[in-house]
Structures are given as C-alpha cells and as structure tokens.
Amino acid sequence: MKSFSEKTNDAERAASSLFSSGQERPSLPSPEALKEMIASRFSHADDQAWLAPLRFSFSSSHGLSVRLPHELFFRWYALQGKCRLESCLRELFGPLDISYVWPGCDVPLRGIPAGKTSSSPNRPALSFEDFFPGGRNRDVVQLLRRALLLRHSPIFLHGPSGTGKSHLLLAAASELNHTLHGRVRLFSGRDILSLFRLSPELAYSELRSCAAVLIDDLHMLEHSPEIQKHLAAFLDAEQDRDRFFLAAYQTDDQDERGQKLLPMLYDRLCAKLSLGLTEPDLDVRLRFTQTAMEQSGLPESREHALFLARHCLRLRHIRGVLEQVRFCYEQNAVLPDIGELSSLMSRAGAPQPVDTDTILSVVASRYGCTISELTENTKDRRITLPRQIAMYLCRELLGESYPSLGLLFGGKDHSTVMYAIRKIENLKVTNNDMNIQLTELTKQCRNGLPRREN
C-alpha cells in the first residue's frame, strides 16, 4: 500500500500534466488523493478547520467544484482560506475554473480567476501597441505606461464611451502580470457590485489577495453609494501598502470626470493620477479602419475607409460595420459601393450625419450669420472668428485638407487656413469660454441639426 507522501506525489504528477498539452486531462486524482495533496500544503491546525469540511470534484475539463456544508460556512471560509486555496489549486492545475456550491445554493458561486488579465476568461489579451492613440491621447498612454513602471497608484482613467479605456486596462493588466507574477485581477463594475452585495468582508478579502486591482466600468457604481463608500474605505486602508489600483470610468461627455461618484470616492481616485481620454479623431479612425479592413481580408480601399471614418465616431461601430462588409464581400466578391455602405451603417445604428453643410449651418446659426457669409472671401471682421471656427470644425470632424478648406472658404490660401485653425486650437487651450463653445458646437454638429437656409 502506498504511503501518504507517495499518494501525494502521484496526485501532484497527475496535476502537473493536466494542462501541459491543451488536451483533456489524461488522468485525474481521486477526491481523496486531491484532498490529501491539498492538506499537505495546509498542515497548520487553523487551516485544517476550514479545509476539512470541503469536498472536491472535477466538474469539467477545466473546472473544479468545491462543496461546502452551508452558506454561513462559505462566508467564514471566504475570510479564512479562500484566496490561499484558489492560489494553491491553480499552482497545481493551471488555469482552473473554481465554483462553490452548498445545500440550497441555486447557482454555483464562481471563484474569481487568478493569474489572468481579466475576471472573464474570454476577454482577449491586448497590448499598448494595438492601441491607436492619435495626437490627442498619445500623452495619456505614455503617462499611463510610465505610471505602471513607477507603480503610481491610484490611477483614474476616464472618458466617453468608445475611447479605448477597456483596451488600456487589458494592456495594463497584461504588463503588470509579467512584473507581479500573475497576482493581477481585472474586475468589471458588475463584479464589484456582486462581491460587496454578497459580503463586504468577502470583497475586501478578494481585493487584498492580489498585488494589482483594476476595475473597468466604474460608472456602474453610480447608484450604489454604500458600495462606493466601501471602495473608498479600501483605498484609505491600502494607501500605504504596495498595491496597485487602476479604475476606468465612462463619462457622458468629455468634460465630465466622475462627478456622479460620491466625493469621498472621487477625491481618492484623483489623489495621484487622473487621465482623460478623448474620442478618436479622424486620423485615428482612418488608420484603425484601414488596419481592420486588412485584418478582415478586405481589399484596400481608401474611399471606403475614409467614408467609414468620417461617419462613425466610435471604433467599435467601425468594426461592426466592417463585419457586415466582410459578409457582403465573401458573398459577392466585391466591396459594396458607397451607397450600399451607407445603408449598412444605417442598419448598424452607427451613422453620424456630419458634413460640411451641417457644420456651416451650426456655426452660422450660433453666430447670427449666413452660410454664404462664412464661405465668401470677405474681410468683414464680424465674420472672421466664426469662419475660423468653421474651418477648425471641418478639419477636426471631417479631416478636410488645408487646400480643400481654402477652396471651400472663398479660395483662401492653405497657409491662411493653417493659421486660422492653429489660432482656434490655441484659444481652446487658453480660453475656457472658447473651449465650452467648441464643445457645444461639436455636439450640435454630431447631432445633425437641420441645415439652415440662406
């Protein structure tokens, strides 16, 4: 008969081969052998108190089910040994999905995966090199990468939907995973809500079990002030510890930075580094579209790429439309023409009715002039600033070239157009009133206000 140590060694050898080939397990330790193997690593009497009642069984090729006596025991076990046991199991079995059940438990409670860049095993691993920052967001990405190296914490990343916050969190988690040896967890706002609602003690235990905590979609906590208070308390308790914390928050517009959060949480998030992302400009959208078309096996077409980039402000919308384009191309062996592409965009719910006529109409309505006055080559000082703003918006939203803008605005030289646009760019930075006006005008242009008749 084999001794205890021999059975333990056999079980460990079986465990080490489970995920070596990416295939189904060639052999599995019995529940008794598995229990003995774990017990050998937790020999202290206090550990045996929570370990002894547990029952183990493999539920799938990559899953382990842990049965407990009742829910109250689980709450106590979650504080005593849950994180340590899950870490031990994954050392033995690799990327293992762990779930907990007890009598009366309708839905098994899953353990949070450790050693992954996401709490969802299906989320892709992304890198900073895959991100298209453009001129606007390049400094933000550089600051974030430097902060990861220096371990500045907390970091508060905010911006409108579609600006790449989730991408950057996944990229940050991937880099931290190498330096922190897998002790990185990326939660969604929904994960945080579920954890704290189940048990604040369990939530604190989960958050403290890792060296880096990353939270995506923090705006999901807006209507849960109690959980915001808990998270603020966690940040207070951990401020002197070597724990990295990064959270991403979706704003309704570019000027909002989390004001819907409780001040006590918002202030703590902004205590070290607050980074704001802006929506991708035309150049970024164009490069993204061209790259996505190439990756999808679509033929190169600058006309199609530029049309999509001009009419879809969000990168995920561009990818969704290109998926429909790919289906059409595989069926017909030709790209849909621009009219068909416009129909595909309408069905995808992603068109943005921005064109030069819309921009001119919005600016003329705002400053009490006509479209003709904006586009005529006159020296009326009353029209100078509105015309420069219209040039800036056409360049910013449509990516029109300087020569084409010169032709549009009365045949002006391209150097005159460049001067006008740089002037508005400087005013946007130095003059808060101008910044507010440009933000409002941009929203109106994107909403497609009715064109004004001359």
Distant-in-sequence, close-in-space partners of 345: CB < 8 Å, separation ≥ 6: 308, 311, 312, 321, 351
Give the span between the Cα atoms of 397 and 377, in whole angstroms.
Answer: 23
Other beta carbons less than 10 A from residue 187's beta carbon: 26
Q: Look up tokens 């860049």; give the residue.
A: 117
Q: Where does residue 453 rank: exposed (0-12), middle (13-18), buried (19+ CB within 10 A)?
A: exposed
HSE, side-chain direction, 13 A CA sphere, residue 50: 19
> What percent of the chain is helix, strand and coil (3-state, nearest 5)?
55, 10, 35
Largest CA distance in the chain: 102
> Which pLDDT does position 423 carry in this prediction?
93
Distant-in-sequence, close-in-space partners of 239: CB < 8 Å, separation ≥ 6: 271
Amino acid occupying residue 106: D
Give the span between the Cα atoms of 287 and 281, in whole angstroms.
Answer: 10
* 3-state secondary structure string across 299-362: CCCHHHHHHHHHHCCCHHHHHHHHHHHHHHHHHHCCCCCHHHHHHHHHHHCCCCCCCHHHHHHH
Closest CA to 64 of 22, 27, 34, 36: 34
- pLDDT tens-digit profile, the chain (454 residues): 444 344 444 444 444 444 443 444 435 677 788 888 888 888 777 777 888 888 888 766 567 888 888 877 877 777 677 777 887 787 777 667 788 888 877 667 766 544 443 333 334 456 787 777 666 788 888 889 888 888 778 999 998 887 888 888 888 888 888 787 767 888 888 888 888 888 888 888 888 888 889 999 999 999 899 999 999 999 888 776 778 899 999 886 544 555 688 999 999 998 889 998 887 777 788 888 888 898 888 999 988 988 888 777 778 788 888 988 988 888 888 899 988 888 888 776 655 556 788 889 899 999 999 988 898 888 888 899 999 999 999 888 777 778 888 888 888 888 899 999 999 999 988 999 998 999 899 888 877 654 444 4
Tell me phi and psi for residue 198, to 5 degrees. -70, -50
CA distances from 77 to 51, 84, 110 (A): 9, 11, 14
> Which pLDDT does position 62 carry in this prediction?
63
Helix (H) or strand (E) segment spanning residue 263? helix 263-269
* 3-state secondary structure string across 44-110: CHHHHHHHCCCEEEEEECCEEEEECCCHHHHHHHHHHCHHHHHHHHHHHHCCCEEEEECCCCCCCEE
Give the span between the Cα atoms of 312 and 324, in whole angstroms.
Answer: 14
Q: How far does Cα 79 stand from its chain's mean position?
A: 30
**Contact between 11 and 34 (Cβ < 8 Å):** yes
**Contact between 314 and 350 (Cβ < 8 Å):** yes
For residue 31, say if its preceding peptide bond is cis, omega within 30 degrees of 0: no
184-188 and 155-160 strand pairing: unpaired
Q: In what order do the strands lie in the sheet with 63-67?
A: 55-60, 63-67, 97-101, 109-110
**Contact between 356 and 387 (Cβ < 8 Å):** no
Give the span between the Cα atoms of 412 and 395, in whole angstroms.
Answer: 15
How many helices and strands, by DSSP H and E, does the chain display? Answer: 21, 9
**Contact between 154 and 258 (Cβ < 8 Å):** no
The 8-class DSSP code of residue 243 comes to -
> Which pLDDT does position 259 carry in this prediction?
66
